[in-house]
Amino acid sequence: MPLGSSKYVAAFDLGTTSARVIIFDEYGSPQAACQRPLTQIFPKEGWVEQDPMEMFRQQLACFKGALSDLNILPSDISAIGITNQRETTVVWEKATGRPIYPAIVWQDHRTTEQCEALGAHSLMIRERTGLKLDPYFSATKIRWILDHVSGARAKAQAGELLFGTVDSWLIWNLTGGRRHMTDITNASRTLLANIRTGRWDEELLGMFGVPVSMLPEITPSCGALAESDPEVLGACIPISGTAGDQQSAAIGQACFRPGMTKNTYGTGGFLLMNTGKTAPLSDHLLSTVGWEVGGDRSYALEGSVFIAGAVVQWLKDGLGLFRTSAEIETLASQVQDNGEVYLVPAFVGLGAPYWDPFARGMIIGITRGTSRAHIARAALESIAFQCNEVLQVMAADTGAPVEELRVDGGAAENDLLMQFQADLANVPVVRPVVTETTALGAAYLAGLGIGLWEDFSEIESLWRRERIFEPKMSQDRREYLTKQWHRAVARTRGWEQ
């Protein structure tokens, strides 16, 4: 180890529902963690916003909390890795660092019509960016801010405004406004970067009306990327790794070989399959940069399910069915099956493989015998049904059936859900010892960036399995459930239109 006595790496994880800092040791074991909630604001139907200042404040508070948990100083941290909810868009003033509008969150689809208007270019956009022309991504969100905040476009054209996804925003603030950067994995989610060249694409910038002066520098995922301002963090610490949270989770899951697949069950559900050096184009899935490390760029096929754990949150906070997310398992276990109830959580439209911003949520099959437990079970099952559809498309697109699904994220703690996922997909579901793989991936990148770990094979040797869920369901039952799910989904399509 080339380091002195301090071998701690801090991962800053700015997710959708919370900010987190986890401090890992040189074996990739978490030593301290601190998590703080983030407020989600729903100002109008289909709009989702967050306060960028709250994001940063909570992230700093987490850093302090994790340090004091371990009773160490900022100077004891060797490196910081950043990981974040992707696509979420922040625009701020270069001179003051003040955001000119709340962060428009990835789930927000106020720009649906804007996307429709550009429909004629969707194939060209897909070939360059690997993405769908969907309000999910950053480009139309930036444009919306420039078009709706008074004076914003003129200021942007004068070079006075900066855009960043949440990683850029965090790094800008951590470095005291000295560094405006984003790594290639985050850039690949904006609809503005060409995933083959790894650069901003001028034609796309013109099409979306985004001045190039607003954009951050695109960097690899690890190396000497930036340094924290001692006035902000209490020490000058290298920021040596950064990646969007889903790519980071794939690294934390050690999905380093083509074909390896992970699913993160957070607010949304995100399946990523490593496709190596090729970025395949799919009609239903996204092609995205997995990471760029040591000059090598690796790609992934991604299926993004917009609502996964968030359906549990809705039952908890919206309907008050239970008090903690974990309680859904107890409630859902009170019944043997879904009692023929299906819940399609198309609250913000449907992501992969449908990409239907007009679909809306639905519960169907309710009778006088339907109980709270059936609704809870249908909600949990909906997470697995959606992820299973992505998995089936992935296997069909690549011609390579998934051998095992590595899982992580908040809802992966739910054994009932994991068993149902294995049953439905007919694939072993494997849960690692460290389920905070998103933070772990960022820590790995940061550690690689300062030479704490040498390469991916060293990291692979640190990955440990906690439990495997083997499929047990009969093929008949699997086919029946899938058929019923499809019937339910069909009824939600295009509702808003």
CB 413 within 8 A of CB 187: no
Judging by beta carbons within 10 Å of its beta carbon (0-12, 13-18, 19+), is residue 348 exposed, middle or buried?
buried
Q: Which is nearer to ligand ADP, 28 or 268 (CB)?
A: 268
Q: Which is nearer to ligand ADP, 266 or 447 (CB)?
A: 266
Interacting residue with ligand G3P among 245, 381, 389, 436 (CB under 6 A): 245
Q: Which is nearer to ligand G3P, 8 or 444 (CB)?
A: 444
At its nearest, how many Å lie between ligand ADP and the CB of residue 147?
A: 29
Q: How far apart are CA 106 and CA 49, in angstroms?
A: 9
Number of residues that bind ligand G3P (CB under 6 A): 13
Contact set for ligand ADP, span 375-434 (CB under 6 A): 409-411, 413-414
CB 18 within 8 A of CB 33: no
> Which residue is it, tokens 């850093």?
63
Annotated binding-site positions for ADP: 16, 20, 267, 309, 410, 414
Q: How far apart are CA 435 and CA 233, in angstroms?
A: 27
At its nearest, how many Å lie between ligand G3P and the CB of residue 107?
A: 8
Residue 252: φ, ψ to 5°: -60, -25
| Binding partner of 313, given ligand G3P, ligand ADP, none, CB within 5-8 angstroms per partner class | ligand ADP
Of 271, 265, 388, nearest to 328 (Cα)?
265
Instruction: Mark residues 293-312: x for contact with ligand ADP by CB under 6 A, - for none.
Output: ----------------xx-x
Cα atoms in the Cβ-side hemisphere of radius 13 Å centred on 46: 14
| Binding partner of 168, given ligand ADP, ligand G3P, none, CB within 5-8 angstroms per partner class | none
Judging by beta carbons within 10 Å of its beta carbon (0-12, 13-18, 19+), is residue 345 exposed, middle or buried?
buried
DSSP string, 301-317: EEEEES-SHHHHHIIII
Q: How far apart are CA 489 and CA 361, in angstroms?
A: 9
| Binding partner of 312, given ligand ADP, ligand G3P, none, CB within 5-8 angstroms per partner class | ligand ADP
Instruction: Mark residues 354-393: x for contact with ligand G3P by CB under 6 A, - for none.
Output: ----------------------------------------
Judging by beta carbons within 10 Å of its beta carbon (0-12, 13-18, 19+), is residue 323 exposed, middle or buried?
exposed
At its nearest, how many Å lie between ligand ADP and the CB of residue 56?
A: 16
CB 111 within 8 A of CB 191: no
Contact set for ligand G3P, span 97-126 (CB under 6 A): 106
Instruction: Mark residues 267-306: x for contact with ligand G3P by CB under 6 A, - for none.
Output: xx-----------------------------------x--
Point out which residues bind ligand ADP (CB under 6 A): 15-18, 266-267, 309-310, 312-313, 325-326, 328-329, 409-411, 413-414
Point out which residues bind ligand G3P (CB under 6 A): 15-16, 85-87, 106, 244-246, 266-268, 304
